Amino acid sequence: MCAIHQPNLFPRLSTLAKLYAADRWIVLDDVQFTRRDYQHRTRLAALDDPATQQWLTLPTHLPHGRPTLISQARLADQRRSHRRVELLVRQYYRRSRHWDAVQDVLNAVLDTLDASAHVADSARTSTIALLTVLGWSGDVRDSSDIPTRSGRSERLADLAAATNSAHYLCGTGGLRYLDVGPFDVHGTVVLPFHTPKKGPIWQQSRRISSLWALSSIGPAELANRLAALREAHQTAT
């Protein structure tokens, strides 16, 4: 079972849950960068009041202008990005009793910000670090390493087929445009992925960074809830 998603900086819980439910994350890094999306930014929510939110954004340079691919986008200022990420994440979550787990994720991203000027590298690292502290044992592939056709649905179907994925987990956004025809040709089943609508950690799961849920209930409890969601979707197969 695979999930295909762009690299997001400290991804929202709805995104993280979909990746956690999959056996494989195919990082969609060879599509156009979008400034209004989440590749270079995330919403941090206050630990005690998740309605209080602030954007954490990495200033980004697009060397080819609007057509720049996600994999080509670069940090405008690595040092500034490092300082901003460290300052804001500490400011919002260092009082959490689960700070050690959050700090592991933070340190992984800070190391990547020092080592690479590519925005996708930091976003990819942040997601993998979150999955790691939750005990996810899947594998990660980059779409740029896999030949595909250019059509939107054809590209996704080819990625799933190339990685021998019998099922493709598709979020609510993708379901609005997806053509299942190319998947049927490969014998790949499109499985809709839905997150719960009720419960404190899910109410803003499509809006705020999953760092808030990690800080609020800790890695063990968050992993339990994501595992239950994964089991529910696996049962549906």
Q: Domains in the chain: how many in total?
A: 1
pLDDT exceeds cutoff 90 at 185: yes
Crossing angle between the packed helical segments 211-236 and 119-133, to the nearest 10 degrees: 70
The pTM for the full model equals: 0.96
Q: What is the pLDDT of residue 234?
A: 84
Which residues on neighbouring strands pair with residue 140, listed in sequence order? Answer: 25
Give CA–CA dist 144/201, Å, rounded: 33
Cα angle 154, 179, 37 (rounded to 5 degrees) comes to: 80
Read off the pLDDT of each residue in 148-160 and give the average, rounded to a whole number: 96
pLDDT exceeds cutoff 90 at 226: yes
- The pLDDT mean for the chain works out to 96
Range of the domain at 197: 2-236
Read off the pLDDT of each residue in 145-173 and give the average, rounded to a whole number: 95
| Share above pLDDT 90 across residues of the chain, in percent, rounded to a whole number | 94
Read off the pLDDT of each residue in 146-170 and give the average, rounded to a whole number: 96
pLDDT exceeds cutoff 80 at 202: yes
Helix (H) or strand (E) holding 56: strand 53-57
Give CA–CA dist 14/195, Å, rounded: 6
Backbone φ and ψ of 74, nearest 5°? -125, 150
Read off the pLDDT of each residue in 52-73 and give the average, rounded to a whole number: 98
Q: What is the pLDDT of residue 32?
A: 96
What letter represents residue 225's amino acid? R
pLDDT exceeds cutoff 90 at 205: yes
Q: What is the pLDDT of residue 172?
A: 87
Token digits of residue 205 = 């799961």
The end-to-end CA distance of the chain, in Å, is 10
- Which range is least confidently modeled, 89-98, 111-120, 194-203? 194-203
Backbone φ and ψ of 27, nearest 5°? -80, 115
pLDDT band at 164 (very low <50, low <70, confident <90, very high): very high
pLDDT band at 148 (very low <50, low <70, confident <90, very high): very high
| Share above pLDDT 70 across residues of the chain, in percent, rounded to a whole number | 100
pLDDT band at 28 (very low <50, low <70, confident <90, very high): very high
